[in-house]
Amino acid sequence: MKAQRRAVLIAGPTASGKSAMALARAQRGGGIIVNADAMQVYSGLRIITARPSAEDERLVEHRLYGMVSPATRFSTGQWLSAVAEVIADADPARELIFVGGTGLYFDALTRGFAEVPVIPDAVTAAVQAEIEGLDATARMQRLIAEDPQTAARLKVADPQRVIRALAVKRATGQPLSHFQQAHMPALLDGWAVERLVLAPDREVLRARITRRFETMFAQGAVEEVENLRAQNLDPSLPALKAIGVPEISDWLDGRTGREEAIALSIIATHQYAKRQRTWFRNRMSDWPRLDPL
Show the DSSP H helices in 18-114 as ranges: 18-29, 54-59, 76-89, 103-111
Is position 249 annotated in a ligand binding site? no
Say if CB 288 and CB 195 are below 8 A apart: yes
Do 164 and 223 fall within a single domain? Answer: no
- The distance from CA 263 to its chain's CA centroid, rounded to whole angstroms, is 22
Do 150 and 82 fall within a single domain? Answer: no
Do 48 and 192 fall within a single domain? Answer: yes
Do 32 and 165 fall within a single domain? Answer: no
The percent of residues above 90 in pLDDT, for the chain, comes to: 78
Give the angle 125-173-107 at the CA atoms, nearest 5°: 70
pLDDT tens-place string over residues 202-219: 999 999 999 998 899 889
Mean pLDDT score, 154-163: 84
230: in domain: yes
Do 175 and 191 fall within a single domain? Answer: no
Is position 18 annotated in a ligand binding site? yes
Do 33 and 135 fall within a single domain? Answer: no
pLDDT tens-place string over residues 110-143: 988 877 777 888 899 899 999 888 998 999 999 9
Do 69 and 193 fall within a single domain? Answer: yes
What is the reported pTM?
A: 0.82
Do 108 and 236 fall within a single domain? Answer: no
Least confident residue range of 130-134, 175-179, 260-264: 175-179
CATH number of the domain where residue 20 is located: 3.40.50.300
Do 144 and 224 fall within a single domain? Answer: no
CATH number of the domain where residue 222 is located: 1.10.287.890
Q: Assign 183 a pLDDT band (cuts: 50, 70, 90).
A: low
Residue 245 corresponds to which amino acid?
Answer: V
97: in domain: yes
Is position 31 annotated in a ligand binding site? no
Do 33 and 109 fall within a single domain? Answer: yes
228: in domain: yes
Is position 274 annotated in a ligand binding site? no
- Which pLDDT score is estimated for 156? 77
239: in domain: yes
**What's the domain count of the chain?**
3
- Find the domain containing 245 and state its range: 202-275
23: in domain: yes
pLDDT score of 279 more than 80: yes
pLDDT score of 64 more than 80: yes
**Cβ neighbours for 103, distance < 8 A, ≥ 6 positions apart:** 11, 276, 279, 280, 283, 284
CATH number of the domain where residue 126 is located: 1.10.20
pLDDT tens-place string over residues 6-49: 999 999 999 999 999 999 999 999 999 999 999 999 999 999 99
